[in-house]
């Protein structure tokens, strides 16, 4: 019987049906970090439970780590305390940890795929809503809360209900200056921030087929912003090429066997979907948010809609019918699990090269992982950004959510490559976030205001 990848992976991991009707689902890979795990370890200790599969949980620090200095103990005593707690917990329970001084430390959703831990056909869980990122290689990945982190530690299982599957076909070609970020912002605008509740989003179609794994991660990452807990792309040759040779990926002959399994997990051509949506890639413009949720966005040439939400307008200081383009910015942030990978930094650097950040703008680049930072530095990208007036930081979540000292001040406006423009998200209760692609953030940093990146693209691309 033809099936979706979601259903095949679900069935392969289903342990049993619980009395409530929920499925006991085995979790193949569990990723933890310093913010949502300490209470889970405490609960384990209270009950005297052990970690059931310690070699299937991996830990790193990302949310709270300082991005300026990594010297221990951190000046931020709370960051030090939380990092030390994770180190202690991992030691006690036998879990592998990539600490701040490890070359493999980074945002949990960046390092999973980078190390080849994330593989097609796995069930993955992490105490972070952007766990959907890992679906880019054809895994089924769930963001969970701390009590569920406890469950996975104790039993390597979750009690869940299966999701419906919505197939989202993006067909045609993206225009120059239009990126994966614009695709997902467009999808969320169209389907709503709640449209995906109860669904896994399966992204496909010719435009998705042409995207790199990095770009697919950007799209899957923000599934949750559209309400979908899970997002994925079927594994294909791009996926296999991405995984080959990665440290935790199967090696040698095992890799070829794995590819055979991965290939047959992809949704069958006539798989049943609960819903289908079609998006025309060529119609997507560079997109920017104007409001306080990721569904409130416009194309760069579009005015803010006439029916725009009053609360959002009041908070942001925008008017209906006005353009977002030309909005003066105070801060430019390039980074996050959405857009903090090497290709994101490369695209942004193409815009920045030979230009200067506007004098009134504070601009920072926070690589998604130490490995991303190293690769970028090997290509001289750090110098490109520094020469333009950007700060070049260490890896972490940073100003995406302002849990470390990288925060907006007062009502500052930030052009941000991150994933959420919620009120107060970037660390100032009244701070304002405009979500856009990293290249658009670079353009805004240089212009000092929201600008159209298409007018700043290097010649060889526009020609």
Binders of another protein in range 287-326 (CB under 8 A): 293, 311
**Shortest Å, Cβ 378 to another protein:** 31
Please, are residues 365 and 387 in contact by the beta-carbon 8 Å criterion?
no
Angle at 403 between CA 95 and CA 133, to 5 degrees: 60
Q: Tell me which of 59, 65, 79, 363 binds another protein, using CB under 8 A.
A: 79
**CB-nearer residue toward another protein: 224 or 395:** 224
Among 106, 113, 116, 121, binds another protein (CB under 8 A): 121
Q: What angle (nearest 5°) sits at the alpha carbon of residue 211, between those of residues 269 and 380?
A: 160
Minimum gap (Å) between residue 137 Cβ and another protein? 12
Residue 49 is a binding residue for another protein (CB under 8 A): yes
User: Does 150 contact another protein by CB under 8 A?
Assistant: yes
**Assigned token pair, 146:** 């701390």
Q: Contact with another protein (CB under 8 A): which of 7, 8, 33, 63?
A: 63
Tell the smallest beta-carbon distance from residue 54 to another protein (Å): 13
**164: DSSP letter:** E
Binders of another protein among residues 7 to 26 (CB under 8 A) are 12-16, 18-22, 24, 26
CA gap 157, 248 in Å, rounded: 22
Chosen residue from 183, 224, 266, 308 binding another protein by CB under 8 A = 224
Q: Is the peptide bond before 73 cis (omega within 30 degrees of 0)?
A: yes
Residues 362-421 that bind another protein (CB under 8 A): 401-403, 420
- Using CB under 8 A as the binding rule, whether residue 138 contacts another protein is answered as no
Using rule CB under 8 A, residue 227 touches another protein: yes
Minimum CB separation from another protein for residue 315, in Å? 9
Among 68, 87, 255, 273, interactor with another protein by CB under 8 A: 255
- The length of the chain in residues reads 463
Q: Which of 99, 452, 446, 431 is nearest to 292 (CA)?
A: 431
Q: Which stretch binds another protein (CB under 8 A): 107-115, 126-134, 327-335, 357-365?
A: 126-134
Phi-psi region of 244 (alpha: psi -120 to 50; beta: other; left: phi over 0): beta
Minimum Å gap between C-beta 356 and another protein is 32
Number of helices (H), then strands (E), in the chain: 17, 19
Between 114 and 398, whose beta carbon lies closer to another protein?
A: 398
Q: What gap in Å lies between CA 422 and CA 293, rounded to an integer?
A: 6
Cβ-based nearer residue to another protein, 177 or 396: 396
Q: Considering the rule CB under 8 A, would residue 145 count as an interface residue with another protein?
A: yes
If binding is defined by CB under 8 A, does position 35 make contact with another protein? yes
Q: Own/partner pairs for 407-410, CB < 8 Å, 24+ apart?
A: 407/431, 408/330, 408/331, 408/432, 408/433
Q: How far apart are CA 170 and CA 168, in angstroms?
A: 6
Q: Is residue 193 part of the contact set for another protein (CB under 8 A)? A: yes
């Amino acid at each position: 019987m033809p099936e979706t990848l979601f259903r095949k992976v679900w069935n392969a991991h289903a342990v049993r049906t619980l009395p409530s009707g929920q499925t006991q689902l085995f979790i193949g890979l569990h990723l933890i970090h310093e913010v949502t795990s300490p209470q889970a370890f405490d609960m384990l200790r209270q009950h005297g439970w052990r970690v059931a599969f310690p070699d299937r949980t991996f830990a790193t620090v990302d949310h709270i780590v300082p991005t300026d200095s990594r010297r221990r103990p951190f000046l931020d005593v709370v960051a030090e305390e939380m990092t030390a707690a994770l180190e202690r917990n991992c030691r006690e329970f036998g879990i592998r940890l990539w600490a701040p001084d490890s070359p493999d430390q980074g945002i949990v959703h960046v390092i999973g795929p980078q190390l080849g831990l994330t593989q097609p056909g796995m069930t993955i869980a992490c105490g972070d809503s952007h766990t959907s990122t890992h679906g880019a290689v054809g895994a089924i990945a769930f963001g969970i809360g701390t009590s569920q982190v406890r469950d996975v530690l104790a039993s390597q299982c979750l009690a869940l209900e299966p999701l419906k599957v919505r197939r989202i076909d993006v067909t045609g070609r993206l225009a120059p200056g239009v990126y994966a970020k614009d695709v997902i912002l467009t999808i969320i605008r169209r389907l709503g921030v709640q449209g995906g509740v109860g669904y896994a989003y399966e992204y496909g179609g010719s435009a998705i087929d042409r995207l790199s794994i990095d770009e697919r991660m950007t799209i899957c990452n923000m599934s949750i912003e559209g309400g979908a807990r899970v997002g994925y792309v079927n594994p294909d040759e791009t996926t296999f090429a991405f995984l080959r040779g990665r440290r935790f990926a199967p090696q040698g002959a095992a890799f070829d066997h794995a590819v055979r399994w991965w290939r047959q997990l992809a949704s069958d051509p006539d798989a049943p979907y609960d819903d289908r949506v079609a998006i025309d890639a060529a119609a997507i413009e560079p997109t920017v948010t104007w409001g306080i949720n990721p569904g409130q966005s416009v194309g760069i040439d579009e005015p803010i809609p006439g029916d725009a939400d009053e609360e959002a307008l009041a908070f942001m200081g925008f008017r209906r019918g006005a353009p977002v383009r030309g909005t003066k910015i105070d801060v430019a942030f390039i980074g996050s699990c959405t857009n903090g990978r090497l290709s994101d930094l490369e695209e942004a650097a193409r815009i920045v090269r030979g230009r200067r950040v506007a004098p009134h703008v504070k601009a920072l680049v926070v690589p998604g992982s130490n490995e991303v930072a190293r690769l970028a530095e090997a290509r001289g990208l750090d110098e490109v950004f520094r020469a333009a007036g950007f700060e070049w930081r260490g890896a972490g979540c940073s100003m995406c959510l302002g849990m470390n000292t990288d925060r907006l001040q007062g009502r500052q406006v930030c052009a941000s490559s991150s994933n959420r423009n919620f009120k107060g998200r970037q660390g100032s209760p009244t701070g304002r976030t405009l979500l856009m692609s990293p290249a658009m953030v670079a353009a805004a940093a240089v212009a000092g205001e929201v600008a159209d990146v298409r007018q700043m693209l290097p010649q060889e691309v526009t020609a």
